[in-house]
A and B are shown apart, each in its own frame.
Chain A
Amino acid sequence: MLRRCISAEWMKLRRSRIVWILIILPVISVWIGCANYYLNQEVLTKEWYSLWSQVGLFYGEFFLPILIAIVCAYMWRLEHLNQNWKMMMTAPISASHHFLAKWIVVSVLLAFVQLLFLGLYLLGGKWAGLASNLPEELAGWLIRGWIAAVTIGTLQLALSMRIRSFAAPVGIGLCAVFVGLGLYVAGLGMYFPHSLLTIGMGVLSQTSLSSGNMLLFAVMNLFYMAVILLVAIYRMCKADVVA
């Protein structure tokens, strides 16, 4: 049943322009990052690591969270428009499957975005003429970044389900970026989704996580995902459909 739900979600994304957001935002962030690196090469001397610090800053700190907020708002906008909540909720499918299907689709899209970002990063590095070996932490950054991105996606999906407006959840996402930055600076980065992304992607600090911190990182992400999924699905089961 969940599989059929997921197929339906893919069908809904056909011909939609959301794919351009998925491509353009990473391109912009890598482009700005690369330009920044290129213009400041005298201070940025650690080749791939320096490039990551620039590119990752724009992507992980700003463009990726916004991208997630937009994609999640779009997923629910489809249902908020033209009374589609009714079609969804009168199908013989449990409410949880509708939410999980969207969640899984968003997670897959975010994995695609991470891969695209990796490709662009490599391309940018080649263009800047970097010759040294790639950072060995790269895979970890990308995977942990994806996990944290899915956590943020869970939060944004829940917000966009509740809030019928497209812009409001994106605005909240933008505020959360700054809250995350504040908490990261205050040393509380492990306790907020957006700063988990900062930590996971090694954006502001490239020192590897200790195994204790790695565990805390995983637990916090799972905790946020589980709690938000439960609350959102409970809400979906209980609330009246307003269409």
Chain B
Amino acid sequence: MKPVLSTHQLSKRYGGTYRVKNVNLSVHEGEIYGFLGPNGAGKSTTLKMILGLVRPTEGTVTVFGKDLGRNRRFILSHTGSLIESPSYYGHLTGLENMRIVQMLRDLPNRNVSEALKIVRLEKHQDKKVDQYSLGMKQRLGIAMALVSFPKLLILDEPTNGLDPAGIGEIRELIRSLPERYGMTVLISSHLLSEIEQIATSVGIINEGKMLFQGSLEKLKNQSRPAIRIKTQHNDWAHEVLGQYGYSPQQDGEYLTFESLTDDQVAHINRILVTSQIGVLRIEEQKKRLESIFLDMTGKENSL
């Protein structure tokens, strides 16, 4: 199956440094693709290049099988987007703002009322946007992205500024879009926990480079689980195993080993048994997705 959206060696250089370097994204039809990375990793720049807001230094963007450079208007007419913070004219009402998008995209009236209903802004549609709360502006931004019911929806950190209830609501909305409207969704975030619950595929970017792309399952299997062993004499076991070149970490009542093969586990068990150290537990500890993400991006404080 051909991807709805793909980039080839996409790069953007500002001055002497690459903000985005050789990114190859590929988003398939009906997917919710989570684009993950810490702040400043190059997510927004990549999305802006996909929308033609920023020109790539190198590389190409292909959407719906067409080259962005030559088919910008066609691609944009089937794409909805919300990049960084929402666009709005503050002196106009929410509805008037929607009307502007409606005019520019030549849409029927019912699209506007439908989109406002989806984000539950219809009661506030006659209020000036300057008087909206941050969350309401964000909802308006989402409504503007949705109003054409596009084939491809690109949302950059869409839950910014929303309260927890709003985050849950928007998450449910995004999850329903592929089935309800046949949309393909590309959504970026710096929070794995947010993406984890809705995405079918993820791409991870850090310092402008793609580190991983694939399903969440594949991401989970990327790093081998840790092995935890509990013995009757952990200190002694630590010493003995040290002689064989193993260096476990003392972790409470457990000795923890990073990335062991099955043979190594068996070997360790044999050593302990022959050294007459009673083995009480051998456990596999699956890594949490969050820590896989943090290992990859090498940032403890992605906030």
Q: Please give, as numbers and ranges, the residues of chain B lying within 8 Å of A15 by CB-CB distance.
A: 91-92
- Decide: A87 and B144 in contact? CB cutoff 8 A: yes
Residue of A nearest to B83 (CB): A86
Q: Please give, as numbers and ranges, the residues of chain B lying within 8 Å of A92 by CB-CB distance.
A: 73-74, 76-77, 104-105
In the complex with contacts A87-B101, A89-B52, A240-B55, A12-B106 CB distance below 8 A: no
- Decide: B53 and A81 in contact? CB cutoff 8 A: no
How many positions in chain A have a CB within 8 Å of any CB in the partner chain?
Answer: 28
- Decide: B105 and A91 in contact? CB cutoff 8 A: yes
The minimal Cβ–Cβ distance linking B150 to chain A, given in whole angstroms, is: 10
In the complex with contacts A93-B73, A241-B54, A11-B103 CB distance below 8 A: yes
- Decide: A91 and B83 in contact? CB cutoff 8 A: no
- Decide: A241 and B89 in contact? CB cutoff 8 A: no
- Total A-B pairs, Cβ < 8 A: 84
Q: In the bound complex, how far is the Cα of B106 from the Cα of A44, in angstroms?
A: 57
- Decide: A84 and B89 in contact? CB cutoff 8 A: yes
Q: In the bound complex, how far is the Cα of B88 from the Cα of A79, in angstroms?
A: 9
Q: Does A120 contact B (CB under 8 A)?
A: no
Q: Please give, as numbers and ranges, the residues of chain A lying within 8 Å of B81 by CB-CB distance.
A: 86, 90
Residue of B nearest to A78 (CB): B89
Q: How large is the interface on B (under 10, 10 to 19, 20 to 34, 35 or more residues)?
A: 20 to 34
What 0/1 readout, one digit per residue, does chain B (54-67) give for beta carbons within 8 Å of chain A? 11000000000000
Q: Please give, as numbers and ranges, the residues of chain B lying within 8 Å of A83 by CB-CB distance.
A: 83-87
Q: Which of B54, B74, B100 is within 8 Å of A12, CB to CB?
A: B100
The minimal Cβ–Cβ distance linking B50 to chain A, given in whole angstroms, is: 10
Q: Please give, as numbers and ranges, the residues of chain B lying within 8 Å of A85 by CB-CB distance.
A: 87
The minimal Cβ–Cβ distance linking B95 to chain A, given in whole angstroms, is: 11
Q: Does A7 contact B (CB under 8 A)?
A: yes
Q: Does B238 contact A (CB under 8 A)?
A: no
Q: Does A82 contact B (CB under 8 A)?
A: yes
In the complex with contacts A92-B73, A92-B76, A4-B104 CB distance below 8 A: yes
Q: Please give, as numbers and ranges, the residues of chain B lying within 8 Å of A84 by CB-CB distance.
A: 87-89
Q: Does B194 contact A (CB under 8 A)?
A: no
Q: A residues 1-25 with Cβ under 8 Å of B?
A: 4-5, 7-8, 11-12, 14-16
- Decide: B52 and A82 in contact? CB cutoff 8 A: no
Q: Does A39 contact B (CB under 8 A)?
A: no
- Decide: A8 and B96 in contact? CB cutoff 8 A: no
Q: Please give, as numbers and ranges, the residues of chain A lying within 8 Å of B106 by CB-CB distance.
A: 4
- Decide: B54 and A8 in contact? CB cutoff 8 A: no
In the complex with contacts A11-B96, A90-B76, A241-B144 CB distance below 8 A: no
Further 14 A-B residue pairs, CB within 8 A, beyond A83-B85, A91-B101: A8-B100, A11-B100, A12-B100, A81-B90, A82-B90, A83-B84, A84-B89, A86-B83, A87-B88, A89-B53, A90-B79, A91-B76, A240-B53, A243-B87
Cross-chain pairs A/B with CB under 8 angstroms, 29 sampled: A4-B106, A5-B103, A7-B103, A8-B104, A11-B100, A12-B100, A14-B92, A14-B96, A15-B92, A16-B91, A78-B89, A82-B86, A82-B87, A82-B89, A83-B85, A83-B87, A86-B53, A86-B83, A86-B84, A86-B87, A88-B104, A89-B53, A90-B76, A90-B81, A91-B76, A92-B74, A92-B105, A241-B54, A243-B83
Interface residues, chain A, with chain B CB atoms under 8 Å away: 4-5, 7-8, 11-12, 14-16, 78, 81-94, 238, 240-241, 243
A-B residue pairs, 3 tightest by C-beta: A92-B77, A87-B87, A91-B104
